[in-house]
């Protein structure tokens, strides 16, 4: 069986493929209406006051559209966009050069902002609040710092783990928005748009099947669509229809609920632990995945489906999860016997 993991499907760096699929204006951005509306108001108000937009904190699971929205915000504000990420800013000095190069109204996007080292985060405070930075000059005995004024700018921080941010840092963002997983009806619209861009014929039934199994995530929906395009091409099929979707998803090991092999292994592990719970470390060791990957990629969908729950001691299977395991084992046994 061909298999693919959601860690691959959902990898944060979507690769060059993603660029062509990104919506080019806020009007093209599908769903998340409340967030989009709030952004429109904030942008218009800032423009009326002739001020840069307040600092923005965008949170949500990987692949929900944080980077895309930031690009669209820059476009709406007619602002230049500078892109970096938490892990790329190891020292305050890395940030100082960037901040001093900003022009009035520029947007600075820091992806994975929860991964900024503490010293860099604290260095940002003055820049965010008072638009000043202390830049070290000279070394040794002559070492000192000079305070430099910055042009007023907008920091847009994106995070998959808002809870990891300190209250002091979070409090310095004036606008907080959270992206939620998309309902299937919105994913169908996103898939139709992607199919148009990629010039693939996608039937309504196939779009619905894909949308149901894309874990509420546009990035996953788009990747699944590309894999089905490969299959349709190899089969010489003129379009992606329900039959191609069914075969393709089965080949990728993705079931009706959008679960794939690693999800099933997590559920099986928790089922064996019943009536007990398992810590994240134990689950990670059991299935050979990093704890962070489990928390960001697998667990949110299992929690949303109410197959597992978080407790003070760890993770535990719900009654629904247990029933799923029993039914799944029965199917597996029947398949083995036949
Ligand atoms: P994040 O930064 O949250 O990980 P991205 O902004 O990189 O997510 O989005 C991943 C991909 O999903 C983008 O390439 C874009 O094509 C698509 N996408 C995300 N949200 C939407 C949306 N609301 N409408 C259309 N496409 C979207």
Cβ-Cβ contacts under 8 Å for 45 (sequence gap 6 or more): none
Rounded mean pLDDT, 197-206: 95
Tokens of 115: 């991964």
Q: What is the pLDDT of residue 110?
A: 97
Judgement on whether residues 143 and 53 belong to the same structural domain of the protein: yes
258 close to ligand 1 (CB < 6 Angstrom): no
Q: What is the pLDDT of residue 11?
A: 42
Judgement on whether residues 220 and 235 belong to the same structural domain of the protein: yes
Residue 317, pLDDT above cutoff 70: yes
161 lies in some domain: yes
Q: What is the pLDDT of residue 5?
A: 41
Judgement on whether residues 93 and 214 belong to the same structural domain of the protein: no
Q: Whose CA is nearest to atom 11 of ligand 1?
A: 219
Domain end among 178, 210, 234: 178
Q: What is the pLDDT of residue 268?
A: 94
State the total domains in the chain: 3
Domain end among 227, 251, 275: 251
pLDDT, tens digit, for every residue of 32-52? 999 999 999 999 999 999 999
Judgement on whether residues 187 and 236 belong to the same structural domain of the protein: yes
157 close to ligand 1 (CB < 6 Angstrom): no
Q: Ligand 1 mean position to 126 CA, how many Å? A: 31
226 lies in some domain: yes
Tokens of 325: 């395991």
12 lies in some domain: no
Judgement on whether residues 38 and 154 belong to the same structural domain of the protein: yes
pTM to 2 decimals? 0.89
Judgement on whether residues 195 and 98 belong to the same structural domain of the protein: no
Domain end among 161, 178, 195: 178
Judgement on whether residues 214 and 291 belong to the same structural domain of the protein: no
Rounded mean pLDDT, 172-191: 97
Q: Predicted confidence band at 17 (pLDDT cuts at 50, 70, 90)?
A: low
pLDDT, tens digit, for every residue of 59-111? 999 999 999 999 999 999 999 999 999 999 998 888 988 999 999 999 999 99
Rounded mean pLDDT, 270-291: 93
Tell me which residue range forms the domain holding 101. Answer: 32-178
67 close to ligand 1 (CB < 6 Angstrom): yes
Judgement on whether residues 220 and 104 belong to the same structural domain of the protein: no
| Cα–Cα separations (whole angstroms), residue 182 to 55, 139, 195 | 25, 52, 18
Residue 70 C-alpha from the chain's centroid: 13
Q: Ligand 1 mean position to 299 CA, how many Å? A: 20
Judgement on whether residues 202 and 275 belong to the same structural domain of the protein: no
Q: Ligand 1 mean position to 291 CA, how many Å? A: 24
CATH number, position 95: 3.40.50.300
Judgement on whether residues 144 and 198 belong to the same structural domain of the protein: no
Q: Ligand 1 mean position to 337 CA, how many Å? A: 43
Residue 164, pLDDT above cutoff 50: yes
pLDDT, tens digit, for every residue of 121-147? 999 999 999 999 988 777 777 778 889
CA distance 296 to 162: 12
Q: Whose CA is nearest to atom 19 of ligand 1?
A: 65
> In angstroms, how far apart are the furthest CA atoms of the chain?
81
17 lies in some domain: no
- Mutate-to-test residue for ligand 1 from 26, 219, 224, 297, highest number of ligand atoms within 8 A of CB: 219
297 close to ligand 1 (CB < 6 Angstrom): no
Rounded mean pLDDT, 21-38: 92
Surface-to-core class of residue 192, CB atoms within 10 Å of its CB (0-12 exposed, 13-18 middle, 19+ buried): middle
Index of the ligand 1 atom closest to the CA of residue 111: 2
CA distance 268 to 261: 10
Index of the ligand 1 atom closest to the CA of residue 221: 12
Tokens of 164: 């990891």
82 lies in some domain: yes
Q: Ligand 1 mean position to 229 CA, how many Å? A: 19
pLDDT, tens digit, for every residue of 206-263? 999 999 999 999 999 999 999 999 999 999 999 999 999 999 999 999 999 999 999 9
Judgement on whether residues 219 and 288 belong to the same structural domain of the protein: no
Cβ-Cβ contacts under 8 Å for 91 (sequence gap 6 or more): 117, 119, 120
Q: What is the pLDDT of residue 329?
A: 79
List residues with catalytic annotation.
Answer: 66-67, 111, 160, 219
Residue 306, pLDDT above cutoff 50: yes
Judgement on whether residues 131 and 247 belong to the same structural domain of the protein: no
Q: What DSSP character marks residue 258?
A: S
Q: Predicted confidence band at 16 (pLDDT cuts at 50, 70, 90)?
A: very low
Q: What's the chain's Rg over C-alpha atoms?
A: 23
């Amino acid at each position: 069986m061909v298999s693919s993991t959601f860690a691959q499907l959902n990898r944060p760096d979507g690769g060059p493929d993603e660029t062509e699929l990104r919506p080019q204006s806020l009007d093209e951005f599908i769903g998340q209406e409340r967030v989009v509306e709030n952004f429109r108001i904030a942008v218009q108000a800032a423009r009326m006051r002739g001020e840069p937009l307040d600092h923005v904190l965008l949170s949500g699971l990987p692949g929900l559209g944080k980077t895309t929205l930031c690009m669209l915000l820059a476009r709406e504000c007619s602002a230049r966009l500078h892109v970096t990420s938490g892990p790329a800013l190891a020292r305050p000095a890395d940030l100082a050069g960037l901040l001093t190069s900003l022009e009035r109204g520029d947007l600075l996007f820091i992806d994975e902002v929860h991964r900024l080292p503490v010293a860099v985060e604290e260095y940002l405070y003055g820049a965010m609040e008072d638009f000043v930075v202390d830049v070290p000059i000279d070394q040794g005995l002559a070492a000192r710092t000079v305070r430099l004024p910055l042009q007023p700018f907008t920091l847009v921080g994106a995070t998959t783990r808002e809870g990891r941010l300190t209250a002091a840092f979070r409090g310095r963002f004036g606008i907080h928005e959270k992206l939620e997983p998309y309902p299937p009806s919105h994913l169908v619209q996103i898939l139709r748009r992607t199919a148009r861009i990629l010039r693939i014929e996608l039937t309504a039934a196939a779009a619905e099947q894909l949308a149901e199994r894309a874990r509420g995530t546009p990035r996953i929906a788009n990747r699944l669509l590309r894999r089905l395009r490969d299959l349709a091409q190899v089969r010489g099929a003129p379009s992606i229809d329900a039959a191609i979707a069914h075969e393709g998803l089965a080949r990728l090991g993705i079931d009706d609920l959008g679960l794939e092999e690693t999800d099933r292994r997590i559920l099986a592990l928790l089922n064996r632990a019943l009536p007990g719970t398992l810590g994240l470390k134990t689950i990670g060791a059991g299935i050979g995945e990093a704890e962070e990957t489990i928390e960001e990629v697998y667990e949110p969908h299992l929690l949303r489906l109410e197959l597992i729950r978080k407790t003070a001691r760890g993770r535990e299977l719900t009654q629904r999860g247990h029933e799923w395991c029993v039914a799944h084992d029965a199917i597996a046994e029947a398949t083995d016997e036949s």
